[in-house]
Amino acid sequence: MRVLVVDHPLVAHKLTVLRDKDTPSPVFRLLTEELVTLLAYEATRNVRVEPVNIETPVTSTIGTGLVKPTPLVVPILRAGLGMLEGMTRLVPTAEVGFLGMARNEETLEAITYAERLPDDLTGRQVFVLDPMLATGGTLREAIKFLFNRGAAEIVCICLLGAPEGLSVLEEELADANVTIVLASIDERLDEKAYIVPGLGDAGDRLYGVVH
């Protein structure tokens, strides 16, 4: 498993506005999309491509095309849905599948409540979108699910990660073909397993409080 923190002043600036508790939901949504596009630029560095023959108005040449089937993008509902536009802006031909997962806030166990994915992911490159990697329980389950379907490579794009959750994934997925791309690794988790300094509950800030 590899971990890549995208070190760029625009990422840091947008993340700072996102963290601010007074940033309203419409701005939060817009910034999330913008940030994901910046992170996706790095996260897709090893997207699978192949040479293609094309005709320019002047001559024949060899260019670069995405290998088919194109990458599968999997936002983890709810909060990951806020990242989808930012990702597909960069890779418009990507296929999209969905995983609905929620963390039980008492036991911290990740529950999968919805799934809409191709049955067979054999050999596929998959990009998972979830803004928050806290205890790592949600991503661990999502990654396990996708490998069980046959995925060959998984790249997770997150906004924030906690050292605790990253350690769990690094231990369990040491030899797996997994890359985690983040805007920041924050300090720690608090007693409710929220990321500190964090940005609060990403799903609630994008879409409102569910309870």
Ligand X SMILES: O=P(O)(O)OC[C@H]1O[C@H](OP(=O)(O)OP(=O)(O)O)[C@H](O)[C@@H]1O
Ligand Y SMILES: O=c1cc[nH]c(=O)[nH]1
Residues within the interface to ligand Y (CB under 6 A): 79, 132, 134, 194-195, 198, 201-203
80 is an interface residue for Mg ion by CB under 5 A: no
**110 binds ligand X per the rule CB under 6 A:** yes
Of these, 33, 170, 172, 201, which contacts Mg ion (CB under 5 A)? 201
161 binds ligand X (CB under 6 A): no
Identify which of residues 71 and 131 has a Cβ nearer to ligand Y in the complex. 131
Distance CA 136, CA 117 (A): 21
User: Considering only residues 1, 38, 83, 134, which one is a binding residue for ligand X as defined by CB under 6 A?
Assistant: 134
**Binding string to ligand X for residues 69 to 108, with x set by CB under 6 A, is what?**
-------x-xx---------------------xxx----x
Contact 153, 99 (CB under 8 A): no
CA distances from 189 to 74, 140, 186, 204 (A): 25, 17, 9, 18
User: Quick check: bond before 69 cis, omega within 30?
Assistant: yes
DSSP state of 208: -
